[in-house]
Amino acid sequence: MSGSLTSLYDRISFALAMHNKAMTNLQEQAATGARINRASDDPSSAYRLFGLKSQDRSIQSYIDNLADMVGNLEITDTVLQSMTSELIKCKQLVTQVTGGVYSESNRKMLASSINDHLEQLVLLANTKHAGQYLFAGEKSSQAPFAIVRDSSGQITAVTYQGSLQQRYIEAAPGVLVPSFLVGSTAFACDNRDQPEFVLSQTGARLGSGTSSVTGAGWLTVTKDSDGHFNLSIDGGKTVVDLGSVSDLTNVPVTDADGKVLYVDASKINNTGEDLITVEGTFDIFGALISIRDILQNTHSLSDQQLSQVMPKTVDWVTQITDRVLEADVLVGSRMSFMDSLKQTLQNMQTHAQDETATIEQADITQVAIDLARYQTLYQMSLAVAGKLLSVSLLDFIK
């Protein structure tokens, strides 16, 4: 008798507890809207949820990186367009000189305008966005271009001091995208041709060696006290004495930076300065510095010589303008790629979020039906339990 009542009580208590637990879970699902509120609710689904949410966070991190990269490239695009505008203005000025007759004072005024554009271009090339320089490659924390000025404050040289390597950022799993341009390649042509003597006043000719000079430069021929001709391509900083050279047909003339021009000096008969250009190697700053100096006539050229040189300068500006346009096209291509990649990542994120919602979210309609069913069952169970637990010894005696 005692054992039967105890067993009956235990079974009723267990059944009521199970009903109560089921109702509690359903009430929690109704309140939170989630089918899984803790891992123990459904261990297999919970494990899948952890993976999907981790994937969601990872994709969001890549999307945020892409947004930053696109922001950098948008600023870069704006800067390159501004640089192109500056170069077009320079070309207009140079074309005016080439197509008309200008006095020395007019040429100096145009040289001053070219110098102003040069200053603006250097400023643009050292643009900094969000604490990082846009044209420094991997060294985005350092200004890419260093400026050398003379005593009057004019720019005499612009040196690239950034990285020669592009800086890559992981834009998606396994996808590395360069987001900072290398200024030394973005603003300099790389289709090298043979050096050419545009103006030859001394009798010097091009030697047979492989020269490494770039852009436009001047070969200066002087004569020392011993009557020997001396050669220099950096304004006299480094000098080659022809009196100590055995083979005059291929003389290596090196500047302070290590660049070399091979000169056939066997027919040099006069002192002076010869203009040498290397097509396909002009950079923005060196070209404009050379054009400014020519307009200022720092090399004492005659009007005839100026008329011979100036048409060449139009080609120089055209080459560097085309180079900047190429860089701008490259930036636009990268922006397009990143927009496409961002859309792909957002689609992946949406799929992950949809699957998460399918697994995690409760069907509120079904929850309401189940809750009503369990409440009815619970009430019936309580009624039955009340009847059963009211049995006494008298009921058995009867």
Mean pLDDT of 366-392: 67
Residue 149 tokens read as: 């000025």
274: burial class by Cβ within 10 Å (0-12, 13-18, 19+)? buried
Residue 89 tokens read as: 């203005």
Structure-derived torsion over alpha carbons of residues 387, 389, 392, 397, reported in degrees to the nearest 10: 60
pLDDT for residue 368 is more than 90: no
pTM of this structure: 0.77
Of 68, 65, 73, 64, nearest to 330 (Cα)?
A: 73
DSSP string covering 123-167, please? Answer: HHHT-EETTEETTBTT-TTS-SEEEEE-TTS-EEEEEE-S-SSPE
Mean pLDDT of 82-93: 95
What is the overall mean pLDDT for the chain?
A: 85
Mean pLDDT of 104-127: 93
Task: Identify residue 361 by its one-letter amino acid code.
Answer: Q
Q: Which residue has the tokens 């009340």?
A: 386
Write the pLDDT tens digit of every residue in 235-293. Answer: 899 999 999 999 999 999 999 989 999 999 999 999 999 999 999 999 999 999 999 99
Residue 72 tokens read as: 């950098």
pLDDT for residue 91 is more than 80: yes
Mean pLDDT of 76-96: 94
Residue 275 in contact with residue 193, Cβ under 8 Å? no
Report which of residues 366 and 119 the model is more confident about: 119
Q: 177: pLDDT confidence band, cut at 50, 70 and 90?
A: confident
pLDDT for residue 120 is more than 80: yes
Cβ-Cβ contacts under 8 Å for 227 (sequence gap 6 or more): none
Q: Give the torsion sign (CA, 131, 133, 137, 143).
A: negative
Judged by phi (left if over 0) then psi (alpha if -120 to 50, else beta), residue 297 lies in: left
Mean pLDDT of 305-321: 91
Mean pLDDT of 337-346: 91
Q: Rounded to an integer, what distance in angstroms lies between the CA atom of residue 55 and that of residue 145? A: 41
Lowest mean pLDDT among 64-68, 209-213, 240-244: 64-68
Largest CA distance in the chain: 149
* Res 394: pLDDT: 54
Residue 348 tokens read as: 């992946």
Going from the C-alpha of 147 to that of each of 22, 136, 377, the distances in angstroms are: 77, 15, 87
Write the pLDDT tens digit of every residue in 133-172. Answer: 999 999 989 999 999 999 999 999 999 999 999 888 888 8
Specify the fold of 53-186+308-348.
f41 fragment of flagellin, N-terminal domain (1.20.1330)
Write the pLDDT tens digit of every residue in 217-235. Answer: 999 999 998 899 999 999 8
Task: Identify residue 14 by its one-letter amino acid code.
Answer: F
Write the pLDDT tens digit of every residue in 3-53. Answer: 566 776 667 677 667 766 766 766 666 666 666 666 566 677 667 777 787
Of 228, 282, 236, nearest to 256 (Cα)?
A: 236
